[in-house]
Amino acid sequence: MSEFLTSGFALALGYLLGSVPWGLVLTRAAGLGDIRAIGSGNIGATNVLRTGNKPLAAATLALDIGKGALALWLAGYLWGETPGLVAGFGAMLGHAFPVWLGFKGGKGVATGGGVLLAAAWWLGLGAALVWLAVAALTRISSAAAMAACAAAPIIALFAGRTDLALFSAGIAALVVYRHKGNIQRLLAGTEPRIGRKG
C-alpha cells in the first residue's frame, strides 16, 4: 500500500473515531436533552459540567480523551508511527467537525490531549499539568486549554522531538481556531468560569 493511501486510510479512521459526539450521546441518554441548547452550546466535557452532572462530565472527558488516543494507537499499530499521527489529527478534525452534526462539533481539547498522550506520554502529561495550573489560577477552561496546547510544542522541543513539536503545533493551531469566540469573550471579560451552570 502506498504511503499516500495509508495516510488517507489513517485520516479516515481517525476522523470516524473522533466524530462520535460523546457529550451529546451521554446527556441525551441521561435524559438531559440536547447539550447544544445550554451554556456554550459545545458538546465537550466543560459544557456537560454546566448541567451540574459531574459524573457525566467526567465520562465525557474520559471518552473524548480515549477516542483521540485510540485513533493514534490503532493506526500506529496497523500502519506505523506517521500514519498514527495522521489518525490522531483526523480524530481532532472529527471531533471539531463531525459530519453527523452538520460539521459543528467541539473544541478538540480533550481529544487533542488523548492524541498527545498516545503520541508520547510525557508530552500529554506536560500539557495536562499546564492545563491544571492555568485552570487553578483562572478558573477559565478555555484559557487553560489554549495555554496547554501552546505549551505542548515547547515541551516537545525541549525534549528534542522536532517532529512532535510540529505535530503538536498543528493541534494547537486547530484548538485556538476553534476558540475564536472564547478569545473574544476573554478579551471582553465575559468568559464563563469552570463549573458554572448553563
Q: List the grid coordinates of 126.
A: 506536560
Q: Confirm whether 65 is domain-assigned.
A: yes
Structural domain boundaries enclosing 19: 3-188
Residue 132 is assigned to a structural domain of this protein:
yes
At 145-197, the pLDDT tens digits run 999 999 999 999 999 999 999 999 999 999 999 999 999 999 999 998 875 65
The Cα–Cα gap between 144 and 152 comes to: 12
Is 194 domain-assigned? no
How many whole angstroms separate alpha carbon 109 and alpha carbon 146? 8
- Looking at the domain assignment, is residue 179 inside a domain? yes
Structural domain contains residue 171:
yes
Give a yes or no: residue 196 inside a domain: no
pLDDT tens digits along 12-56: 999 999 999 999 999 999 998 899 988 778 899 988 988 889 999
Residue 150 domain-assigned (yes or no): yes
What predicted TM-score, i.e. pTM, was given to this entire model? Answer: 0.92
Instruction: Note whether residue 99 is domain-resident.
Output: yes
Residue among 47, 54, 2, 57 nearest 26 (CA): 57
CA angle centred on 117, ends 129 and 108, rounded to 5°? 85
Longest dimension (CA), the chain: 52
Domains in the chain, number: 1
